[in-house]
Structure 1
Amino acid sequence: MELKKQSEFYDTYWRGSKKYGSYKLKRISEIIKQLDFAKKHKKNPRILDLGCGDGRCCSIWHEIGDTTGIDLSQEAMKIAKKRYPFIEFSSGDATNTSFKDGSFDIIISQEVIEHIEVQSTYIDECKRLLSPNGILILTTPNKFYFDRRIGGNYSNQPIENILYPKELKKLLSKDFHILKFYSIIHPKGDKGIYRLINSKFIHYGFAALKANALKDYIQSRLNLGLHIITVAKKIT
C-alpha cells in the first residue's frame, strides 16, 4: 500500500484519538518495566519511539532517557510537537528513517510491526539504528490468540499483518538475541485451548487453590495472551 494513503489514514486516526483504555495502560506499564530492565544494559540511554503516534508515551519514556519520536502521520507529529515541545519529533517512514547508524541505545516499537508490509525491512532498520548491544522493546498483537477468537482481529488499519509468536522469534533471530519473550492480558478466547483454560472447572479450580497468579503466569509463558512482549539485544 502506498505510504501516502497510509499517512492520510493515520492523520484522521490521530485527530480523533481518545484516552487510553485499560488494555493500553497495561501494555504501557509493561514497557516501563522493560525500560527499567534495559537500563541495566544501557546507562543514560538514547531512546527512539519508532511509530510513536501522537507522542503521548514519549513524555513517559523521556523520564528514563532522552527520547525521540517518529511517526508516518504528519498530523500526529503536529499534535506531539505542540503537547511536548521538549521532545524531538519528526515524520517519516519507519522502515527508512534519516537517522544515522547507531543513533539510539533503546528502540520502543509499540504495536507497529503488524502494520508494516515488509516486516524484515522494519527489523533491519531497528538493527541499523541501534548502538552496539542496543535493546529493542517490541509489542505486537498475538495471532495465536486472535485466530481463536470469534470475530478475529478487531483492528481495522490499512495493513493488518499480525504474527504468531514463532514467526516473530524467527524474524528477530538473525540480528537479535532475545532476552525476554512472553504475553500479557488474558481475555476470554473462544476456540481450542482457550475453551479449556477459560472453562468454569479450570477457573474455579485455580480460584479454590488461590492460584490465579499461577494461571496468569502459565498463560504468559505459553504465549496465550493478547499481546506479545519481547526484549531483544542487537547482535554485534
Structure 2
Amino acid sequence: MELKEQTEFYNKYWKDYKNFGSYKLQRLSEIVKILEQVRKIKRNPKILDLGCGDGRFCAVWNEVGETVGMDLSTKAMDMASKRYPFIDFHAGDATKTEFKDGAFDIIISQEVIEHIEIQHEYVKECQRLLSHNGVLILTTPNKYYFDRRKGGNYSNQPIENILNPSQLKDLLAKDFRLLDFYTIIHPKGDYGIYKLLGSLIIRYGFSALKAEFLLQRIMSKSLLGLNIVCIAQKKK
C-alpha cells in the first residue's frame, strides 16, 4: 500500500477520541516500569515515541524525560499538538525521519513495527536515531499466539506483518543487543499449548496453590503472551 493511502487510513482512524482498553493500559504500565529501569542507564533522557498515535502516551513519557512524538497521521499530530502543546510532534514516515543521528537516548515503539512494510528499514532508522548505548523499548503482537487463536490477529490495519519471537530477534540482531525479551498479557488461546494452559485443571490447580503469578511468569518467559516486549541497546 502506498504511503499516501496509509496516511489517509490513519487520519480517519485517529479522527475520533478512543478510550484506553485493558490491553493498552497493561502495556502502558509495563513501559513505565521499563523506563524507570532504563533511566538508571540514561539520566535525563531524550525520548522519541516513534509511531505515537494521538500522542497520549507521550504525556506520560514526558514525566521521565523530554519527549518527542512522531506518527504518519497528520490528523493525529494536529490533535496531539493542541492537547499537549508542551510536547513536540512531527508527522511523517517512521522509516525516513529528519531527526539528526543520535538525537535520542530512548525510542519507544509500541505496536508499530507490525504495520511497517519494510521492517529492517524501520529498525535501521531506530538504530541511527539512538545515541551511544541508546535503548529501544519495543512492543508488538506475538504471531506465535495469534497463530493459535481462533480468528487470528484482531487488528485490521492496512499492513499486518506480525512477527513471532524468533523473527523479531533476527530482525534486531544486527543493530541491537537484547537486554530483555519476554511477553505480557495472557488471554486464553485455542490451540496447542494454549489449550493445555487454558484448561480448567491447570488454572484451578495454580489457583488452589495461590500461584497464579507463577503461571503468568511461566507464560511470560516462555514467550507465550499476546504481546512481545523487547528492551534492546544500540550496538557500538
Equivalent residue of 1:114, what SS? helix
**Could you tell me which residue of structure 1 aligns to residue 99 of structure 2?**
99
How many residue pairs match? The answer is: 236
Supply the distance in 1 between the matched residues of 2:166 and 2:17 (Cα, whole angstroms). 32
Q: What does 1:8-87 align with in structure 2 at a 5 Å threshold?
A: 8-87=8-87
How many Å apart are 1:215 and its aligned residue?
Answer: 0.3
Runs of 5+ unmatched residues, structure 2: none
**Could you tell me which residue of structure 2 aligns to residue 118 of structure 1?**
118
**Could you tell me which residue of structure 2 aligns to residue 108 of structure 1?**
108
Equivalent residue of 2:28, what SS? helix
Q: What does 1:184-195 align with in structure 2 at a 5 Å threshold?
A: 184-195=184-195
**Could you tell me which residue of structure 2 aligns to residue 197 of structure 1?**
197
| Cα deviation code 1:3-43 (max 9, x no counterpart) | 00000000000012410011110001001011111101100
Letter in 2 for 1:127: Q
| Cα deviation code 1:106-130 (max 9, x no counterpart) | 0000000000000000000000000
Supply the distance in 1 between the matched residues of 2:60 and 2:152 (Cα, whole angstroms). 32
How many Å apart are 1:209 and its aligned residue?
Answer: 1.1
Q: Which has the higher mean CA deviation after the structures are superposed, 118-127 or 200-209?
A: 200-209
Letter in 1 for 2:225: G
Letter in 2 for 1:63: E
**1:167 to 2:164 alignment:** no
How many Å apart are 1:174 and its aligned residue?
Answer: 0.9
**1:220 to 2:203 alignment:** no
Supply the distance in 2 between the matched residues of 1:17 and 1:186 (Cα, whole angstroms). 27
Q: What does 1:139-158 align with in structure 2 at a 5 Å threshold?
A: 139-158=139-158
Q: Percent identity?
A: 65
Supply the distance in 2 between the matched residues of 1:27 and 1:17 (Cα, whole angstroms). 19
Equivalent residue of 1:37, what SS? helix
Supply the distance in 2 between the matched residues of 1:224 and 1:79 (Cα, whole angstroms). 36
Q: TM-score, normalized by length of structure 2? A: 0.99
Give me the CA root mean square deviation.
0.6
Letter in 2 for 1:157: Q
Runs of 5+ unmatched residues, structure 1: none
Letter in 1 for 2:65: G
Structure 1 segments (4+ residues) deviating >3 Å: none
